Amino acid sequence: MVPSYAEQEAGCGHGRFILAHGQDVASQLARPKMVATRLLELINNFAVVTCLTGDVHAQQIKLFSFLQNRAVFRFDPADEEKRKKLCEEILNILEKDTKTSCQVACLEALRILSRDKKVLVPVTTKKNMQILMRLAKLDTVEDSLERVSEYSVIVEALKCLCNIIFNSAIAQKLSLELNLAAMLCNLLKKCKDQQFVDDIKCFDLRLLFLLSLLHTDIRSQLRQELQGVQVLTQALESSLCVRWTEEYKAAEDHDRAPLSLQETDCAIEALKALFNVTLDSWNVHSENESHQFRYMAAILRHCLLTSGPTEDKTEELHSNAINLLSNVPVSCLDVLISPSCQEETDIKYNGMNMGAIQILLDFMEKRIDKGSSYREGLTPVLSLLTECCRTHRNIRKFIKAQVLPPLRDVSNRPEVGTTVRNKLVRLMTHVDLGVKQIAAEFLFVLCKERVDTLLKYTGYGNAAGLLAARGLLAGGRGDHWYSDDEDTDTEEYKSAKPNINLITGHLEEPMPNPMDEMTEEQKEYEAMKLVNMFDKLSRDEFIKPMGVRPDGTMAPLEETVSQYHTNKQDSSDSD
């Protein structure tokens, strides 16, 4: 058994959020397999409620016995009132000055009980929320945490607040009234450059993430009043141990050890909180905002070049960095590439360091190879790469050289094979509309939105959906401007081009024409047979014959034929 996402200890995280596309958050939390227990029977046996007003030592013994149920997630509805009473009595103890060990035991018991939404009514009062905030040192005026010895109490209180706020709408409203977000930001500042506070920092960030996720007013407060972007960016920077060599460029130490588990978890929590706070930040209106986002992009570049303690943790770290990069205004994404120094051994293109872009490409291919959860796992990185390629020429040319290199072997269909191009072309006909659209858009942008170039790499059959949606079935190019540098075809492609099937996009051997040996009567018979078949399908509304208007959009066949005759007649009416 593992604890729920809200209360996971730093370094024990099992839940991953992918928040770029409005998914239901509760469904994304890591849920352990719940098992029936005798929890309430144990409560009765321990007589906790009775002991709470008696001897302190006896209280601790009872509570420590109760805490053997840390893995309990399912509760008996029949004993709901007893659990509510237990919550009340625990909070009565916490209101008094008791020993640290007793406070920790009480808070851990409350954390177990707070997993049950139905017993939170006595907990979610202004008075009791303030008790937990006091224990978490959220109301203290101390400038530093160095003088605070009860770290375990702070951590357990923050865990309780995480569970309570996640499970209670009343607690979420009280959080705004009690100005909890401001206190959390203040505590986060105290954690800066302090040792032994990683757990405190991690759960502080997790609580800010939950508040910004579940309450839009708190999200706005963080963004506009509390300088949340700056505070959270600094927390991310300290978690990643960034060292700057110049503005917007962090030092790259290739021999640096991976991040520790706690550092990785803190960075992930900061990334998720920042994602919420920076939603809808497409328009940057001030120089200060532009600087803040470019600074953030530089940290995210460093994050992409950093590894965690395990492969799974590294992927989770990079996934959340990519989600946040999707919120960064595209004009600030040029920070992802930087002029390459002579001594650097990183991946270079046109004098620019492309290490971070290569990480994004590798991440994209890895997500494609997984073969599942494309909408949540793949579309964020594809969207990010598409916008980077649309805006930044060097990034587009570097990626195209890897994804769509000059064609040489055209003997196989574009969707057949193991190259990145083959994998992306296969996605163009995926059953998920969002996935197929973003995959096609990415390839279209790599082709500088030129229809002829796209058809060369994908075939008309694979590209038809995108072209129909964009009104480009008649050819042409998209709306965005790109540089005029020409693509050059290889000699192999030029020699094979006359025999390439434009629909399938690959080389086909010349096939004998079955009509060559037919008489004119046979041809007429087969033609009428085909017409009658189409007519029947059309009348029964199994299909709807369509044509292409002069502007490249689709329309019913009757309309396009009528327009053709009208245009032909107009062109013949001349003096």
pLDDT per position in the chain (575 positions), as tens?
Answer: 345 556 654 343 333 343 333 333 333 333 333 322 333 444 444 334 434 444 555 555 656 666 665 666 666 677 788 888 888 888 988 998 778 888 888 899 899 889 888 889 989 999 999 999 999 989 876 666 665 667 889 999 999 999 999 999 999 999 999 999 999 999 988 887 566 678 899 999 999 999 999 999 999 999 999 999 999 999 999 999 999 988 888 888 777 889 999 999 999 999 999 999 999 776 666 778 889 999 999 999 999 999 999 999 999 999 999 999 999 999 899 999 987 765 555 688 888 899 999 999 999 999 999 988 899 999 999 999 999 999 999 999 999 999 999 998 899 999 999 999 999 999 999 999 999 999 999 999 999 999 999 999 999 999 999 998 888 887 777 766 666 666 678 888 888 888 888 899 988 877 788 888 899 999 999 999 999 998 899 888 888 888 877 777 778 877 877 776 666 666 655 54
| pLDDT score for 312 | 96
| pLDDT score for 195 | 62
Q: Look at residues 131, 30, 54 and name the one whose alpha carbon lies nearest to residue 88.
A: 131
Tokens 């300088």 found at: 227
Q: Which two tokens stand for residue 62?
A: 């009872």
In terms of CATH, what superfamily is 1-226? Leucine-rich Repeat Variant (1.25.10.10)
| pLDDT score for 488 | 73
Rounded Cα gap, residues 299 and 237, in angstroms:
7
| pLDDT score for 269 | 97
| Residue 169 CA: distances (Å) to CA of 163, 166, 173, 466 | 12, 8, 6, 43
Cβ neighbors of 158 (< 8 A, separation 6 or more) are 136, 200, 203, 204, 206, 207
Residues in the chain: 575
Tokens 């046109």 found at: 350
Q: Which two tokens stand for residue 540?
A: 């029964």
Q: Where are the domains of the chain?
A: 1-226, 544-572
| pLDDT score for 40 | 40
| pLDDT score for 41 | 43
Q: Counting beta carbons within 10 angstroms of the beta carbon of residue 338, is it exposed (0 to 12), middle (13 to 18) or buried (19 or more)?
A: buried
For 370-390, b/e burial (b = at least 16 CB within 10 A) is eeeebbbbbbbbbbbbbbbbb
**How does pLDDT run across 263-278, given as a tens digit for each residue?**
999 999 999 999 999 9
3-class DSSP state of 385: helix
Q: Look at residues 136, 185, 152 and name the one whose alpha carbon lies nearest to residue 10.
A: 152
| pLDDT score for 553 | 78
Q: Look at residues 204, 221, 223 and name the one whose alpha carbon lies nearest to residue 165.
A: 204
| pLDDT score for 59 | 56
Q: Would the pTM count as exceeding 0.85? A: no
Rounded Cα gap, residues 314 and 324, in angstroms:
16
| pLDDT score for 78 | 72
